Structure 1
Amino acid sequence: MPTDVLVLGAGMVGACTALQLARRGHSVALVDRQAPGRETSYGNAGIIQREAVEPYAFPREWSAVFDVAFKRGIDVNYHFDALPAVAPRLARYWHASTPPRYAPIARDYSRLIEHCLTEHDVLIAESGASELVRKEGYRLGFRTEAALNTAAARAADLQQRYGVRHALLDGDALAQAEPGLHARLAGALHWLDPWSVSDPGALVERYVQRFIDLGGHVARGDAASLRADGGGWLVQTADGPLHARHAVIALGPWAGELTTTLGYKLPLFVKRGYHRHYRGGPGLRLPMLDAERGLVIAPMAAGMRITTGAEFARIGAPSTPVQLDKAEQAARELIALPEPVEAEPWLGNRPCTVDMKPVIGPAPRHSGLWFNFGHSHQGFTLGPVSGRLLAEMIEGAEPFVDPAPYASTRF
């Protein structure tokens, strides 16, 4: 069967794009250098974040900026040799985070997030993946009353404006809900709507298997070989060249390299992150963000997963897991943390844009070329949503969300 669409990148976003197209009867090839779900989509906290209606803004408080500059905290680290390339993008990120500019960005962002559970739910059911998903939310744990009160006020505002639900737990209630905690915290904010996934990579694999069951083709290949060919697009794979009328770039943090080669100058940058699993202790029932230290402790099939915040470094730069070392120390203050499962921590990259919104839609100067990347921390959450939106755009259907705010032409 002739291929209608090439989807380049088999993370959550690419896999969902391919699946949403296959569900609509298109012939699709999903192309990646690795097996599906082994890169960015594998190394996250495994939370489908329905409450994340507003994206991560650049810190406005000078104390937080100084903490980053002097590497005082766990949540941010950077390599000095990466700063010349990333600093202009971070300046634009800071500019977009000013309150008057941030407000419309958050509104656009929330219109995608509001569909994340319903769109995942359809694919989870079709893929037979319900045993991977827990629909009990997750918690933000606080060590001080002041920080808890500040978060509670913001949560109440988000609930009023967006309808995302939460509950507050004092120290006693949190200790009862999480008996594995051996430190008493001030309390927690429990986001009730999100879902947690015990193996994020496995969920991507289930979606890809559903794609295959619908007739989709998975091939190993290098997206760098993509070129226009005879009114369509061609990519080289281990199975030989594949040709299609349409091609979708869903390469996450690697999208910048290919789009630059094709002549686009999109303001993209990359944040790196680490995780490691620990098995043997009592652990936690639900994922918890240690909100004042900047790490997540998430129960996974492989053990308790400790994740870090952001590291600014070149893709392919040597691993510098100083954040994970600090995160492990902070986690040991809260739970019994046995020896790590992996000999070395996992390292991955997150694809970001300067205005915090993903890039979804047609490439303005190439017929049949489409973009779906730049989801930052929420590619795992938004994969089915942006995949459906792009599928509807490719086939000329009425989009279920207005795609204009995510067009690459906004830059």
Structure 2
Amino acid sequence: MARQTVVLGAGMVGVSIAWHLQQRGEAVTLIDRRQPGRETSFGNAGIIQREAVRPYPFPRDVKTILSVLPNRRVDIRYRPAGMVNAASPLLSYWHHSGGRHYRKIVPEYASLIQLCLKAHGPMIEAAKADHLVRREGWLEIYRTQERLDKRVKEANEARDLYGVQFNVLDRQGVEAKEPNLGKEIIGAIHWLDPWTVADPGALVAAYADAFVAAGGRILQSDIHALEQDGEGWQVQTAEGAQPADQVVVALGPWSGEWLKALGYDFPTFVKRGYHMHYSTQPDTKLHNWLMDAEVGYLLAPMNAGVRLTTGAELDRLDAPADEHQLAAAENVARSIFPLDERRDPKAWKGARPCLPDMKPVIGPAPNHKGLWLAFGHGHQGFTLGPATGQLLADMMDGAPTEIDMRPFRADRF
């Protein structure tokens, strides 16, 4: 008889885990209060970021920290209550963001990133979702030669160490790809490896449909409790109890709170973000995904219009939306690209699930047999979901994994 597994959370990570387990012949139920891909996975920038071999560190130089304090930057905003609430994990995040700690983290994190395209490929094929995906990379645009040169140096190191491919574009090269960009943009890095997705939520939904087509089950329901039941588990939902031999917690930014009831206290925090879609002015078009690197927002040509996604907002997960950061980003974006009217009645708000050492937890829970964890992917849940699914399925089967999973173990905290 097939092993009964319940996966909690139907974002990119949870759906990918469910798909991989189903492919191995397990009986899998995927549970979420919403349809697959409608939470954090819905609202991201839609890039499978093979180039992102270095996780985002906390600023450590005094100049940057002082520039953040007035709370007017586009790339990062904060609210005092949110900072106080997450003071301990944020201090640990700062600690891990420099020196030998960060140097150790980068190759561990990169080992996961390097699997992303190979892991997404079979899922895209199974889901017949190739129409959503472009394999042309994206542009990181710059306003000053000094900042571009610094980034090119980092890119060269990433190429030498981790095989990242890129081209450097001057102003003429940028104009060839994006003729409607403002003259402030003097150059760019064209990251060649990444794939871009015109509707991130639709890709997650397509993966979920492939999971169901292979025999998987999706239950859309509120989750009330997670309890051990002898050698197995019971997931209490609004639709009744769901028994399982094993449970996977892949609840993104909600994972930490859910696991407290089982005696775990992971130092989770969130980086919130917003997006808005826009039409473009007549006879103009955005051709590529663009990050305005020196300001800190991204423009993407999505099916729903040009999507502007913001940087990070440090606040409590459930705090009310504050659209000042989005408005600031929009104001700058309009100065370099001819955006027209907003297409959405209100901004979308989501939260990136983060841990202080910038690496996700992937593996068994330390104190509970049959409980498995996969959360804390920060900015890269969309990128890393399929790789996480493959690796966790290997671990659950007792099979060798493609990379060393010790850096991602739960008991490191």
Bucket of the pairwise TM-score, normalised by the shorter protein: over 0.9
Indicate the percent of aligned positions where both proteins have the same amino acid.
48
* Equivalent position of 2:346 in the other structure: 344
* Equivalent position of 1:223 in the other structure: 223
Superposed displacement of residue 280, structure 1:
3.5
Asked whether the equivalents of residues 44 and 307 of structure 1 are also in contact (C-alpha less than 8 Å), the reply is yes
1:308 to 307, 310, 319: 310
Asked whether the equivalents of residues 220 and 237 of structure 1 are also in contact (C-alpha less than 8 Å), the reply is no
Cα distance between partner residues in 2 of 1:206 and 1:370: 24
Asked whether the equivalents of residues 224 and 258 of structure 1 are also in contact (C-alpha less than 8 Å), the reply is no
The aligned amino acid for 1:89 is: P
**TM-align CA RMSD:** 1.2
The aligned amino acid for 1:124 is: I
Residue 295 and residue 283 in structure 1: after superposition, are their counterparts in 2 closer, same or farther (change >3 A)? farther
Cα distance between partner residues in 2 of 1:193 and 1:118: 12
Residue 102 of structure 2 aligns to a residue whose secondary structure is: helix
- Deviations along 1:257-284, whole A, 9 cap, x unmatched? 0111211111111110000000233232
Superposed displacement of residue 236, structure 1:
2.6
Matched, 1:395 2:388: no
- Deviations along 1:31-85, whole A, 9 cap, x unmatched? 0011110111011110000001111111122111112222131011111112222
Matched, 1:321 2:323: yes
- Deviations along 1:196-216, whole A, 9 cap, x unmatched? 000000000000000000110
The aligned amino acid for 1:297 is: L
Worse overlay, 174-183 or 400-409:
174-183
- Deviations along 1:122-153, whole A, 9 cap, x unmatched? 10011100010000001110011111111111
* Equivalent position of 2:275 in the other structure: 275
Asked whether the equivalents of residues 3 and 29 of structure 1 are also in contact (C-alpha less than 8 Å), the reply is no
Asked whether the equivalents of residues 183 and 335 of structure 1 are also in contact (C-alpha less than 8 Å), the reply is no
* Equivalent position of 1:56 in the other structure: 56
Superposed displacement of residue 301, structure 1:
0.4
Cα distance between partner residues in 1 of 2:223 and 2:240: 13
* Equivalent position of 2:116 in the other structure: 116
Superposed displacement of residue 234, structure 1:
1.1
* Equivalent position of 1:65 in the other structure: 65
- Deviations along 1:89-119, whole A, 9 cap, x unmatched? 1110011112211111111101111110011
- Deviations along 1:277-297, whole A, 9 cap, x unmatched? 002332321101000100000
Cα distance between partner residues in 2 of 1:230 and 1:221: 24
* Equivalent position of 1:107 in the other structure: 107
Cα distance between partner residues in 2 of 1:250 and 1:45: 20
Paired residues for 1:219-298 under 5 Å:
219-281=219-281, 282-298=284-300
Asked whether the equivalents of residues 253 and 376 of structure 2 are also in contact (C-alpha less than 8 Å), the reply is yes
Residue 392 and residue 97 in structure 1: after superposition, are their counterparts in 2 closer, same or farther (change >3 A)? same
* Equivalent position of 2:38 in the other structure: 38
Residue 298 of structure 2 aligns to a residue whose secondary structure is: strand
The aligned amino acid for 2:13 is: V
TM-score by length of 2: 0.97
- Deviations along 1:156-186, whole A, 9 cap, x unmatched? 1111111101101101110121123243411
Which 4+ stretches in 1 moved above 6 angstroms?
none
Gaps of 5+ in 1: none
* Equivalent position of 2:368 in the other structure: 366
Residue 363 of structure 2 aligns to a residue whose secondary structure is: strand
Gaps of 5+ in 2: none
